[in-house]
Amino acid sequence: MPTDEPIDRARGRAGARRSDILQALRASRHGRGIRDLAAATGLHENTVRFHLDRLVADGLVDRTSSAATGPGRPPLTYVARREPDEARDNYALIATVLGDALAGSTADPAAAARESGRAWGRGRLGRAVPTETDGWSWEAALDRLVVVQQDEGFAPEVDDGPGGAVLRVHHCPFLALSRQDRTLPCSVHLGLIEGVLGEAGTVERLEPFVTPSLCLAHLSPAGADTRA
């Protein structure tokens, strides 16, 4: 039976390019055209057009026609949708209050947050923990990990290696909380990765904010020898 794994892989690994295009649009108040975005991101115009279509379909970008300057169709302009600042502030406030409550209600809040992240990851799959025996291979688990993280706004990208993989996260949805204390948000993120990977692999280590906009998770397949 045909599967959607190649499609999932293409969509998931394209997250970094899509994030670059979205950031370029958010930096412009009046929107940008395809040629302008190609110059700003270093991508081919056809590649930019492909990712813009996905961003429009996902409801992250609006597409409008510019004023005609000559014969033919007027050029298209793309504008990033902006959520009200009040909504983002309120979510940050709620998360801060809940985080403080968790920290005061358990002896090990980081472990509790990590386990909550695992449950979240397993819940996003809508099924029990994946295993090799039911078709969830290491490669398939990576594909589903980037799809889940992309859906949750992490802008993920996976670099495969001979003994494992590195998950590059270009956007942290917990950024506002992480500026105050990384313990709980990073524990939730670590648990989320573990919950999605299940028995197919493990997280060797999580490196938060190696740059202001990049976190790294070093992953290995189940049974891999990581002592080297």
131-180 pLDDT, tens digit each: 444 556 888 888 889 888 888 888 888 888 788 999 988 888 888 778 77
Span 208-225, average pLDDT: 86
Q: Which residues contact 54 (CB under 8 A, 6 or more apart)?
A: 11, 18
Q: Are 184 and 110 in contact (CB under 8 A)?
A: yes
Q: Determine the pLDDT at residue 3.
A: 43
Q: Determine the pLDDT at residue 126.
A: 62
Span 92-100, average pLDDT: 68
Span 115-120, average pLDDT: 89
Q: Which CATH number fits domain 5-80: 1.10.580.10, 3.40.50.970, 3.40.50.300, 1.10.10.10?
A: 1.10.10.10
Domain ranges of the chain: 5-80, 85-221
First to last CA, the chain: 39
Span 94-110, average pLDDT: 74
pLDDT digits (tens, 9 = 90+) for 4-39: 444 444 445 567 788 889 888 887 767 889 999 999
CB atoms within 10 A of CB 193: 24
Average pLDDT across the chain, whole number: 78
pLDDT digits (tens, 9 = 90+) for 175-200: 877 877 888 889 999 999 999 998 88
Q: Determine the pLDDT at residue 38.
A: 92
Please tell me the pTM assigned to this model: 0.57
- Cα–Cα nearest to 98, from 184, 195, 168, 8: 184
Q: Determine the pLDDT at residue 4.
A: 45
The arrangement of secondary structure in 85-221, i.e. its CATH architecture, is: 2-Layer Sandwich (3.30)
- Helix, strand or coil, per DSSP, at residue 202: strand
- Percent of the chain at pLDDT above 90? 17
Q: Determine the pLDDT at residue 102.
A: 72
* C-alpha dist (Å) from residue 88 to 31, 121, 146, 158: 22, 23, 24, 28
